[in-house]
Amino acid sequence: MAVQERFPTWCPSCEWNLLPPRPSADGLPPRARRRAERAERREEKRRREVRARTEQVFRLVAEGGSDLRHGASVGAFLLAGAVHLVSLAVLLAGACLVAGWPLGSWPVRVLGVVALVVAFLLRPRLGRPRRSGVLTREAAPTLYGLVDAVSAELGAPKVDSIVVDSDFNAAFGVLGLRRHRQLVIGLPLWTVLTRQQRVALLGHEIGHCVNGDSRHGVWTGSAIGALNEWYVLTYPSRDNETNANPIVAVASAVAVMVLGVLNLGVRGLRRLMYRLYLRSGQAAEHRADLMAARLASPQDARGMLQAMLNGSTLDAVLTRQRALPRAGGRAARAAGPMPGLWDALAEAARTVPPSEVERRVRLSEREVSATDGSHPPTYLRLRLLASAPPADRPPLVLDAGRDALIDAELAPSRARVAAELL
């Protein structure tokens, strides 16, 4: 076992100490111990189910299957259509009641107004482009040129804006009525990547334009939003169950029961929609990884994914930086960032030993963990890239000169983001 001062000591052969030690339930009272054991069994069952689902999607993509022909995509599309039809029916019913059909009495019109309000709440949410942290083309021509080159290589349309924020992540979205294409680059993640890993990151995010990812479409994405509104509207409130008026209390109890049944049905529909939606989205994430590998190389794409496991390294660097004394105290901290933050972050990520990288990958496999709930487990993404063929064309190369120009264009964003982090 290699002992590392900054990281846990573990055994690669028997995986001793792979997971952090957990408190034993032996010393708990019998009821609490049984509760903890049930929770552990439920969690283990959940992991097995997630593993089975995600590995099935992995095999589909690895075998060259098209998720557009897969039942999950078709099911998500049809279920989204049913959700939109219900929203449209509520809108039309409200309009008819307000117009006085089939009855023109004022209670019916009031009911129509309520239906219109509900239809407004169920309207498709298309999202809004972010306005804070936006880099213009004039301020960052080299970065936009690199992103445009990535788009051209992948056959994707150009992005409309680039946002730089403080997340250890990156994202791409198509937002608003005008379908504004916005790329979000987390500066901490960008800082710890090598030049070609940055190309792989851009290839992965821009690849969502052309990889059949239904999550960036209006139809399915807005249906998820509508189901979330249904869930909120039907969630039963028990505020009036203890009302002193018996009539109000009985009516409230009946309403809670009816809403509870409706909410249970909505919860099931939402769970099914998420299941289908995530299945399609995880296949799209795998395809985006393969696009990143073709654009840069499989090794660079794997390095990019492994770098995304360094979130705890970022937290440790930030903790040390915040603890450093600064002249002027809080006012000085607000006026400007610590000059060594980005160098310290890059150095900390660069010196993560291979044994710690391996531990984090195995931990992802043991816990079936991912960067977030919408992505496949990291170990499956790395496994797919390990079997990816080499690029059939010269990779898109980010040379040192252009990389230095991009760093200069990001300098104002570095100062702003560092102040936010510290």
Q: What percent of the chain has pLDDT over 90?
A: 30
For residue 390, whether the previous peptide bond is cis, meaning omega lies within 30 degrees of 0, is no
- What is the pLDDT, as a whole number, of residue 185? 96
- pLDDT tens for 227-237 read 888 888 888 77
Q: Categorize the per-residue pLDDT at 328 as very low, low, confident or very high, splitting at 50, 70 and 90.
A: low
H or E element, residue 32: helix 30-62
**327 or 390: which leads in pLDDT:** 390
Cα-based distances in Å from 45 to 37, 51, 103, 268, 336: 12, 10, 54, 19, 49
- pLDDT tens for 165-174 read 999 999 998 8
Residue 202 confidence (pLDDT) above 90: yes
**3-class state of residue 144 by DSSP:** helix
**104 or 362: which leads in pLDDT:** 362
Least confident among 77-91, 96-110, 231-245, 382-396: 231-245
The average pLDDT across 187-206 equals 95
Residue 356 confidence (pLDDT) above 50: yes
Name the most confidently modeled range: 61-75, 120-134, 230-244, 284-298: 284-298
| Pairing outcome for strands 161-165 and 180-186 | parallel
Q: What is the DSSP letter of 138?
A: T
Residue 69 confidence (pLDDT) above 60: no
Q: Categorize the per-residue pLDDT at 239 as very low, low, confident or very high, splitting at 50, 70 and 90.
A: low
List 107's β-bridge partners, or say none.
none
- What is the pLDDT, as a whole number, of residue 157? 92
CA torsion, points 232, 214, 189, 406, in degrees to nearest 10? -130
The average pLDDT across 316-345 equals 69
The strand ranges marked E within 234-307 are none
Least confident among 129-138, 159-168, 251-260, 363-372: 251-260
Residue 75 confidence (pLDDT) above 80: no
Q: Categorize the per-residue pLDDT at 336 as very low, low, confident or very high, splitting at 50, 70 and 90.
A: very low
Least confident among 266-275, 349-358, 387-396: 387-396
- What is the pLDDT, as a whole number, of residue 331? 45
Residue 71 confidence (pLDDT) above 70: no
Least confident among 16-30, 182-196, 215-229, 303-317: 215-229
Please give the angle made by the CA atoms of 400, 302 and 129, to the nearest 5 degrees: 75
Least confident among 153-162, 235-244, 364-373: 235-244
Phi, psi of 269 (to 5 degrees): -65, -40
Residue 246 confidence (pLDDT) above 50: yes
Residue 240 confidence (pLDDT) above 70: no
Contact between residue 226 and residue 84 where contact means Cβ atoms under 8 Å apart: yes
- What is the pLDDT, as a whole number, of residue 337? 46
Residue 33 confidence (pLDDT) above 80: yes
Q: Categorize the per-residue pLDDT at 72 as very low, low, confident or very high, splitting at 50, 70 and 90.
A: low
> What's the predicted TM-score (pTM) here?
0.81
- What is the pLDDT, as a whole number, of residue 182? 94
Domain residue extents for the chain: 66-123, 127-422
- What is the pLDDT, as a whole number, of residue 241? 52
Please tell me the distance from the alpha carbon of residue 151 to that of residue 157, in angstroms, as a whole number.
6
**281 or 205: which leads in pLDDT:** 205
Q: What is the mean pLDDT of the chain?
A: 84
| Pairing outcome for strands 180-186 and 134-135 | unpaired
Residue 150 confidence (pLDDT) above 90: yes
